[in-house]
A = this chain, B = another copy of it.
Amino acid sequence: MSEPEQKSGGDGGDSTVPKAVVSRLSLYLRQLQQGVRDGQATISSKELGRLLGFTDAQVRKDLAYFGHFGYPGIGYRCDELISAIKKILGTDQQWPVALVGVGNLGRALIGYKGFAQRGFRIVAAFDNAQETVGTEIDGVRIHHLDSLPEVARENKIRLGMIAVPVGAAQAVADRLVAVGVEGILNFAPVTINLPGGVSQVGVDLAIELEQLTFSVVNRGTAT
C-alpha cells in the first residue's frame, strides 16, 4: 500500500510520528496477535522484526515513539504490547462506520471480513439509487444519502468510507463532515479537501499497482 501523506493533508493531528511508523504498528499488532494464537507469551524485537522483514533496531525505534514496552532479557510481553498498540491506534474502541456508495466496491467493503475483527463496523450504508435504498446487504441497511444526518446521529457514526465515483467524492465528503464525521477513508481516486479537524486516508488502487511495477521494473534493471 502506498503512503497516506498527501491524502492526510487535511489531517490536523500530530505529525511528529511518521506515517510509516504508524503503519508498521498495524503490522506489529497483527504479528503479535498471531503469536498469541500460537501460544507465544513473549517475543524479542529481533524475532518480531525477523517475522516481518524489519531489523530489531527498526522495531525498537518505532515503539520508542510511544513509550518503553520491552523487558531486559524477556523482550515484549505479547498481550501487553497488543493492548498498548491497540490503544495507540485507537482500535481499543469500536468505530461505527458509515459507507457512502453501494456499487461493486461498496458491496465488497460491506462484505470485507477484515474490518469487524479490527473493531470497525459498517453500521449503515448510503446511496442515491432508488433500487438499492431500503434494501439490506449482509445485514447492513442501505439508506438514501439525504437521511445521513439522522442515521449518523442515531448510530453515533464517527468514520465515513467514500466509495462513490470521482465526480461525487467531494460533495459526499462535505456531507460527511457536516454530520460530524472525524475521519474519512476515501476510495475515490481523487484528493478531497477537508477542514483541518477531519482526518483523511486515501486509497488509490492504481497507486498500489504503480508501487508494484516500480519494484518489478527496478529489480529487472538492477540485476
Which of B6, B54, B220 touches A6 (beta carbons < 8 Å)? B54
Interface hits, A195-215 → B, CB 8 Å: 197, 199-215
Residue numbers in B under 8 Å from A223 (CB-CB)? 12
Report how many residues on chain A are interfacial, defined by Cβ distance under 8 Å: 82
- Number of copies of this kind of chain in the complex: 2
Task: Kindly identify which residue among B11, B26, B220 contacts A207, using a CB–CB cutoff of 8 Å.
Answer: B26
- Contacts A103-B108, A159-B213 given; indicate if A219 touches B197 (C-beta within 8 A): yes
The answer for the CA separation of A95 and B112 in the assembled complex, in Å, is: 27
A9: nearest chain-B partner, CB-CB: B53
A189 at the binding interface (Cβ < 8 Å): yes
Per the bound structure, the CA–CA distance linking A205 and B202 in Å amounts to: 11
Q: Does A89 contact B (CB under 8 A)?
A: yes
* A216 adjacent to chain B (CB < 8 Å): yes
CB distance from A109 to the nearest CB of B (A): 7
Residues of chain A having any CB pair with chain B under 8 Å: 1-9, 11-14, 17, 19-20, 22-27, 29, 52-54, 88-91, 95, 97, 103-105, 107-115, 117-118, 120, 158-159, 165-166, 182-185, 189, 191, 197, 199-220, 222-223
A-B pairs, top 5 by smallest CB distance, nearest first, are A13-B219, A2-B23, A90-B217, A9-B53, A90-B213
